[in-house]
Amino acid sequence: MKQGAIIEKTCCYHCGDECTTTDYVIDDKQFCCHGCKSVYQVLSANQLCSYYKYNDHPGATRNRTDKRFDYLSEPGIISELLDYSDDHVSIVTFYIPHIHCSSCLWLLEQLNKINPAVHYCRVDFLKKQLSIRFDHRKLSLQQLVELLFDIGYEPLISLHDIIKDQNNANKDNLVQKIAVAGFCFGNVMLLSFPEYFGLSVYEQNFKHFFGWLNVLFSLPVVFYSGRGYFQSAWQNLRNKVLNIDFPLALGIAVLFLRTLFEVASHTGAGFADTLCGLVFFLLVGKFVQKKTYHHLSFERDYRSFFPVAVSTITPNGEKPVKLSELSVGHRIIIRNNEIVPADAILLKGNALVDFSFVTGETLPVGKVLGEIIYAGGRQTGEALEMEVVKPVSQSYLTQLWNNEAFSRQQDDRMRTFNQKVSKYFTIVLLIIAFGSLSYWLPSDIRRGFAAFTAVLIVACPCALALSTPFTMSAALSIFDKNLFYLKNTAVVEQMAGINTLVFDKTGTITASDDTEIKQELALTDRQRQLVYSACINSAHPLSMMVCRELKGTKRLETSTYLEIPGKGILATIDGDELRIGNSKLVFGQPGEAGDVTKVHLMINERYLGYFALEHRYRPGLDVLPGLGKDYDTYLLSGDKDYERNRLKSFFSVEDKMLFNSSPQDKLDFIDKLQTGGGCVMMFGDGLNDSGALKQSNLGVAVTDNVNNFTPGSDAILDGRSFDKLPSFLRFSKDTVNIIHISFLISLTYNLIGLSYAVTGNLSPLIAAILMPLSTATIISFTSIATHFMAKKRRLI
């Protein structure tokens, strides 16, 4: 307890502990410590939950008797659940079954304001997964899970499935709830038929008996099938957040209480049929959504998402293997600037790993032999030999690719509409509902309650909120199948707004696998071994061409290795010093112009000659002249301009072909285009062009089955699909148009439904049927329209 003037004992406003100091008072509220006061200020400013009792600051205690999460303090369990951990930071991914609207996304991504030990949160809406980076010195994994539990989003943790497959979703018993609601709905309708068609004298004797039977059938519907709506609404009310479950829970409660009142008072038959039908159709709508989400998630995760291959070591030498085929026990080679695709043990080489892909921290971390290197790390030195110890997780790599360290300002645009809808929709809806009730109540109570419940049900924003993610996800699937892999759905809209295309040359418009190499030098076996041992560490297209030329050469041990982007390699191999690269690196001055690309070689300060590489252009490059009619197209190359005449047929304006460009020159040129109003889409090889790719509005790494993409890029284009680029650009515009139309459809549905609902003439049961129908309509429209446009663009 802090020292201060002793006053009458009172309790801390935030944590409930006894206060005996006046040092911490704000807004006439007293706090036991500075931590409690600070948390109150943050929570008040952001209107988040203020009841959570923290463990990570002085003077606060957590009076929890629930021990259900104590197992999360076991080190063995923690290591299995964590995706990444170092001395300061841990990263974990949870499956959260209760994520279902944009309010959930907003609340979960504010965890850092509830507890500062949480650095970053990201929600994957389709998979209902939450990725959290936190300081485990201040907040344990157990405390993190307890925090999520307290705000109503308990993670579903399965220690037998660390990959957290979404198949665990069936544990929420949705099918059973639908079955119970359907059974009760059918029986209530049967018992209500006499009421619908008029009661005979004989049936009048059973009128009240049937009414009580209907109440009994309503009990399991309300308290079992519909329980989730009440739980969600209550948890969010405690957190001072209104989500779309609140008006639905309110409608269910009103119908049940009204039915109970009318049956008990003998004033009517109640709304048992409407109530049971409402819950049944709401759950059916939720089931349709969940199945669609699962389908989209399956499409996204269970194919090889990244079009890259990893070099594995086999008895016959190196062999490229797709990520989806990589398994535990495989021995792999990770070269300079390549990403470690799965957790692996270091067997050979000096590891200096950049984990900015995982944590956002750019300082490389040294690793020793026998140490595990987590997936997502990028090697910054010589080539490493490693053994895979954990299966590759495509969803984890996708999640890393969406790390906020590589996100752009524009990435939030696609969520802005949903956030606004979530923030204001429920409030406006409640105003309309209570306004309708107040208007009809004096003249017709039944009509007033019918209008009240119909408004709450028919105006559910599900259809409105789902139009964007379903359209974008369908489009994403089309792109994936055509070997164009986008970082997230926001990239589709960014692509639709592009007006300028910039292309790198080497490895982008040239095909690295179809390059003729001539050795304008005479090398001994020892020199060939030195060159091969240096170039094998690099993933640059030119280095890989040289390695293919020297294939079968013995590899020597590397002492030092440095790769300079845009220039070449400096290395010490088995005691010999090598310089391999352009003339500026080897000679210290620009070389003479020629008609081929030259890779110069110097060993121990003795110049030996060069490799002459004559490039072959990528198949499908003939689409560039057509793109030049709709877009400003530019070529940026670090090579000399000896290919200018050959490239004129693709870039008709000579001023738009720029040569001798360093990586910094490329970045500056992109910035200049943007300053002039250009919305730039940059195509590069993912290595020397990483700065320009990140600077551009949309960066695309073009790859030929090698692990050379940059996390700063927004998309990866398999070189085999280069000729489909015009179709991709047109299809992105089509997708945005489909979103606008789907917005209009869902908005029209809500306006028409509300106009009938407020009159009291729309039965709540009919409203409950229309709501899942509207969701199904949006899903069907977006799917059919997207596939129609894809077929029109010859993408399917």
pLDDT at 469: 67
- Identify any residues that bridge with 320 across adjacent strands, giving them in sequence order: 311
Q: What is the dihedral of CA 105, 109, 114, 116, to 10 degrees?
A: 170
pLDDT at 543: 85
- Residue 275 near residue 283 (C-beta atoms within 8 A): no
- Does residue 233 sit in the same domain as residue 284? yes
pLDDT at 300: 43
Residue 438, Cβ density class (10 Å: 0-12 exposed, 13-18 middle, ≥19 buried): exposed
Q: CATH number of the domain that 656 lies in?
A: 3.40.50.1000
Amino acid at 511: A
Nearest-angstrom CA–CA distance, 593 and 584: 13
Residue 487, Cβ density class (10 Å: 0-12 exposed, 13-18 middle, ≥19 buried): buried
- Does residue 134 sit in the same domain as residue 215? no
CA nearest to 748, candidates 778, 779, 728, 716: 778
| 607 torsion bin: left (phi>0), alpha (psi -120 to 50), beta (else) | beta
- Does residue 626 sit in the same domain as residue 501? yes
- Does residue 156 sit in the same domain as residue 186? no
Amino acid at 254: V
Q: Encoding tokens for residue 305?
A: 């998402």
- Most confident stretch, 417-426, 699-708, 782-791: 782-791
Nearest-angstrom CA–CA distance, 771 and 572: 69
Cα→Cα distances 221→216, 390, 668, Å:
9, 45, 64
Q: At what angle do helices 413-440 and 462-481 cross, to 10 degrees?
A: 160
pTM: 0.60
Nearest-angstrom CA–CA distance, 472 and 621: 28
- pLDDT at residue 719 greater than cutoff 60: yes
Over residues 734-747, the pLDDT tens digits come to 998 988 888 788 77
pLDDT at 733: 93
Among 181-185, 644-648, 686-690, 742-746, name the one with the lowest average pLDDT: 686-690
Query: How many helices and strands (H and E) does the chain possess?
Result: 26, 30
| Largest interatomic CA distance in the chain | 115
- Please indicate, yes or no, if residue 231 is contained in any of the structural domains: yes
pLDDT at 594: 60
Categorize the per-residue pLDDT at 444 as very low, low, confident or very high, splitting at 50, 70 and 90. Answer: confident
- Does residue 138 sit in the same domain as residue 183? no
- Residue 443 near residue 451 (C-beta atoms within 8 A): no
Among 196-205, 682-691, 786-795, name the one with the lowest average pLDDT: 196-205
Q: CATH number of the domain that 390 lies in?
A: 2.70.150.10
Among 214-218, 471-475, 488-492, 639-643, name the one with the lowest average pLDDT: 639-643
Categorize the per-residue pLDDT at 417 as very low, low, confident or very high, splitting at 50, 70 and 90. Answer: very low
- pLDDT at residue 60 greater than cutoff 50: no
The number of domains in the chain is 4
Collapsing DSSP to helix, strand or coil, 500 comes out as strand
Average pLDDT, stretch 125-135? 81
Kindly state the helix (H) or strand (E) to which residue 633 belongs, with its residue range.
strand 632-636
Average pLDDT, stretch 287-301? 55
- pLDDT at residue 183 greater than cutoff 60: yes
- The rounded radius of gyration (Å) of the Cα atoms in the chain is 32
- pLDDT at residue 78 greater than cutoff 90: no
- Does residue 211 sit in the same domain as residue 155? no
Average pLDDT, stretch 499-523? 78
Domain boundary among 256, 290, 324: 290
Terminal-residue alpha carbon distance, the chain:
69
CA nearest to 148, candidates 177, 173, 118, 176: 118
Name, in order, each residue with C-beta under 8 angstroms of 558's C-beta and a sequence gap of 6 or more. Answer: 349, 350, 382, 383, 533, 534, 537, 571, 572, 573
- Please indicate, yes or no, if residue 28 is contained in any of the structural domains: no
Q: What is the dihedral of CA 471, 477, 478, 480, to 10 degrees?
A: 140
Nearest-angstrom CA–CA distance, 155 and 160: 15
* Residue appearing with tokens 């949480």: 118
Query: Residues of 522-541 as b/e, b for ≥16 C-beta within 10 angstroms?
Result: ebeeebbbbbbbbbbbbbbb
Categorize the per-residue pLDDT at 160 as very low, low, confident or very high, splitting at 50, 70 and 90. Answer: very low
- pLDDT at residue 47 greater than cutoff 50: no
CA nearest to 81, candidates 17, 136, 6, 147: 136
- Does residue 77 sit in the same domain as residue 220? no
Collapsing DSSP to helix, strand or coil, 684 comes out as strand
Domain boundary among 729, 759, 786: 729
Query: Residues of 168-178 as b/e, b for ≥16 C-beta within 10 angstroms?
Result: bbeeeebeebb
In the Cβ-directed half-sphere of 528, how many Cα atoms lie within 13 Å? 13
- pLDDT at residue 378 greater than cutoff 50: yes
- pLDDT at residue 382 greater than cutoff 80: yes
pLDDT, greater one: 595 or 116: 116
Categorize the per-residue pLDDT at 502 as very low, low, confident or very high, splitting at 50, 70 and 90. Answer: very high
- pLDDT at residue 432 greater than cutoff 80: yes
- Residue 341 near residue 707 (C-beta atoms within 8 A): yes
Amino acid at 336: N
pLDDT at 58: 32
- Please indicate, yes or no, if residue 181 is contained in any of the structural domains: yes
| DSSP character at residue 274 | H
- Identify any residues that bridge with 366 across adjacent strands, giving them in sequence order: 352
- Please indicate, yes or no, if residue 432 is contained in any of the structural domains: no
- Does residue 211 sit in the same domain as residue 189? yes
- Please indicate, yes or no, if residue 382 is contained in any of the structural domains: yes
- Please indicate, yes or no, if residue 721 is contained in any of the structural domains: yes
CA nearest to 646, candidates 792, 510, 748: 510
pLDDT at 789: 94
- Please indicate, yes or no, if residue 411 is contained in any of the structural domains: no
Nearest-angstrom CA–CA distance, 584 and 588: 4
pLDDT at 405: 46
- Does residue 154 sit in the same domain as residue 201? no
pLDDT at 604: 92
Average pLDDT, stretch 559-566? 85
Mean pLDDT of the chain: 75
- Does residue 721 sit in the same domain as residue 672? yes
Amino acid at 127: K
Among 262-271, 474-483, 528-537, 669-678, name the one with the lowest average pLDDT: 262-271
- pLDDT at residue 44 greater than cutoff 60: no
- Residue 418 near residue 465 (C-beta atoms within 8 A): yes
- pLDDT at residue 28 greater than cutoff 80: no
- pLDDT at residue 501 greater than cutoff 70: yes
- Please indicate, yes or no, if residue 442 is contained in any of the structural domains: no
pLDDT at 341: 81
- Does residue 113 sit in the same domain as residue 183? no
- Most confident stretch, 215-219, 402-406, 766-770: 215-219
CA nearest to 520, candidates 615, 600, 436, 605: 600
Residue 688, Cβ density class (10 Å: 0-12 exposed, 13-18 middle, ≥19 buried): buried
- Does residue 246 sit in the same domain as residue 130? no
Its domain, for residue 176, covers 172-290
Among 283-292, 623-632, 787-796, name the one with the lowest average pLDDT: 283-292
pLDDT at 793: 92
- Residue 685 near residue 504 (C-beta atoms within 8 A): yes
Domain boundary among 705, 729, 753: 729
pLDDT at 620: 80
* Residue appearing with tokens 């987590």: 374
Average pLDDT, stretch 173-187? 89
Average pLDDT, stretch 546-571? 86
Over residues 87-111, the pLDDT tens digits come to 788 888 888 877 766 567 777 877 8
- Most confident stretch, 106-115, 295-304, 411-420, 702-711: 106-115
* φ and ψ at residue 713, rounded to 5 degrees: -80, 160
